[in-house]
């Protein structure tokens, strides 16, 4: 009996455990199906969003862990346009010059945001940098001598704005939407040839996973002059009653001028500020010697200076002083005398951006009387040379 009982009990327990395991198995199957349905339900919206036509940037490869790309520039096709010529034939020959190696320029980048309909909702400042022109004017890389000079951008659409003093030693700040351009004296300001350009709707994206740098082509981004280029020249005509042998201590001062201006980065405009009460010495201490005594003809020119544009509501004024060594036909010996205008030479003249002006002073003698008469002529000048076979041709 004991053996029969024992075997029956064992069989019963095996049957019970098997039945219990069957129900657990069925329950697990139902739970797994529920979990699968839940996962599929949760994953579908994500899959749909990732494949949406309105989110192309989501399908692009990632950059580094910060999501930022370090930017450099390809300057092929970019450059700086020399001053516009007033003559249409000359204007057609105005060349596009490369920025000189070492030229520094500052950049401000503004990122654009769009809604689901593709409509622009905001333009927000993203980053700024300072760059140096290299490789014969063909490339520009971050200026490593400056802290935080590197421009770093995440994926998106940007407007880029560039500003430079066309210099290898000074560069604009880029800390605000408006850049104040000034100096302790106007001479500091006139050393700055302010040039600017911009690039709109630039798409920043990586080409492969782990990419950390991006070169942006600037083809067609031409820098324009925002100031006026000015110089002065003293002409001494030949064959006059008084033969000029030399000029010393020549000083030509121009006034009144603006000493400060503000550049609006996003508008790309330069606006003068403050009072128009500054002056600049176009020639501070000029001299001419070794003049041909048989004719007395000579010319003395100043270097170029850059001035903020002016309208003609207030006349320009010029103060001129010099010491002249001369001889007359009656004396035959060298004499010397100081020449100073009794009143400034006044001229109603506007100075336009990206234009060049030469103020020509002509020292004229109508007899042997000293001092002489000084007249002022203004000519526009351009560094463009017309082809020799085009000079004198009709427009």
pLDDT at 365: 81
pLDDT tens column, 173-194: 999 999 999 854 555 556 689 9
State yes or no: cis peptide before 371, omega within 30 of 0.
yes
Query: What architecture is domain 58-225?
Result: Sandwich (2.60)
Query: Residue 201: pLDDT above 50?
Result: yes
Please report the pLDDT score of residue 124 as a whole number.
97
- Tens-place pLDDT, residues 3-35: 433 455 445 445 445 544 444 444 444 444 444
Please give the model's pTM, rounded to 2 decimal places. Answer: 0.76
Same fold, 58-225 and 228-385: yes
Q: Concatenate the DSSP letters of all residues of 78-139 into one string.
A: -EEEPPPPSSHHHHTTPPEEPPPTT-EEEEEEEEEEE-TTS-EEEEEEEEEEEEEEETTTTE
Distances (CA, A) of 318 to 135, 360, 378: 43, 11, 12
pLDDT for 45 equals 39
> According to the model, what pLDDT value does residue 33 have?
45
For residue 156, give the H/E element and its range: strand 156-164
- Rounded to whole angstroms, the Cα distance separating 359 from 350 reads 13
Q: Which CATH architecture describes the domain 228-385? A: Sandwich (2.60)
Answer whether residue 390 shows pLDDT above 50.
Answer: no
Cβ pair 153, 69 in contact under 8 A = yes
Check whether 154 has a pLDDT greater than 60. Answer: yes
- Higher per-residue confidence, 382 vs 318: 318
How confident is the model at residue 379, as a pLDDT? 76
CA 300, CA 302: separation in Å to the nearest integer?
7
**Average pLDDT in the 155-162 region?**
97
Please, is 182 exposed, middle or buried when counting C-beta atoms within 10 Å of its C-beta (0-12, 13-18, 19+)? middle
Q: What is the pLDDT of residues 229-246, one digit of tens each?
A: 999 999 988 888 888 889
Q: What are the structural domain ranges in the chain? A: 2-51, 58-225, 228-385
* Cα–Cα distance for residue pair 371/379, rounded to 1 Å: 25
């Amino acid at each position: 009996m004991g053996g029969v009982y024992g075997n029956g009990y064992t069989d019963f327990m095996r049957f019970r455990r098997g039945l219990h395991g069957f129900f657990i198995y069925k329950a697990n199957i139902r739970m797994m199906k529920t979990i699968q349905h839940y996962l599929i339900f949760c994953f579908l919206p994500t899959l749909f969003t990732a494949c949406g036509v309105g989110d192309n940037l989501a399908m692009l490869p990632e950059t580094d862990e910060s999501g930022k790309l370090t930017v450099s520039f390809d300057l092929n096709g970019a450059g700086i346009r020399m001053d516009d010529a007033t003559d249409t034939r000359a204007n057609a020959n105005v060349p596009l010059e490369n920025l000189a190696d070492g030229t520094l320029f500052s950049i401000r980048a503004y990122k654009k945001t769009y809604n689901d309909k593709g409509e622009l909702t905001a333009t927000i400042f993203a980053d700024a940098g300072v760059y140096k022109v290299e490789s014969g004017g063909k490339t520009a890389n971050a200026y490593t001598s400056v802290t935080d000079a590197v421009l770093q951008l995440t994926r998106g659409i940007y407007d880029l704005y560039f500003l430079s003093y066309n210099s290898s030693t000074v560069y604009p700040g880029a800390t605000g939407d408006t850049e104040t351009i000034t100096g302790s004296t106007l001479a500091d300001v006139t050393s700055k040839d302010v040039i600017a350009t911009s690039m709109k709707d630039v798409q920043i994206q990586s080409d492969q996973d782990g990419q950390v740098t991006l070169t942006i082509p600037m083809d067609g981004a031409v820098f324009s002059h925002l100031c006026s280029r000015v110089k002065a020249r003293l002409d001494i005509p030949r064959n006059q009653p008084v033969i000029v042998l030399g000029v010393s201590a020549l000083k030509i001062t121009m006034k009144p001028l603006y000493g400060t201006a503000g550049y609006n980065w996003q508008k790309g405009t330069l606006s003068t500020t403050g009072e128009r009460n500054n002056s600049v010495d176009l020639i501070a201490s000029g001299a001419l010697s070794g003049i041909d005594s048989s004719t007395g003809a000579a010319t003395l020119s100043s270097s170029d200076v850059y001035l903020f544009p002016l309208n003609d509501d207030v006349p320009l004024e010029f103060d001129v002083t010099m010491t002249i060594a001369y001889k007359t036909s009656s004396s035959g010996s060298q004499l010397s005398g100081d020449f100073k205008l009794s009143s400034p030479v006044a001229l109603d003249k506007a100075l336009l951006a990206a234009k060049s002006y030469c103020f020509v002073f002509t020292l004229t003698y109508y007899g042997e009387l000293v001092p002489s008469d000084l007249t002022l002529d203004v000519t526009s000048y351009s560094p463009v040379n017309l082809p020799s076979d085009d000079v004198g041709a009709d427009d």
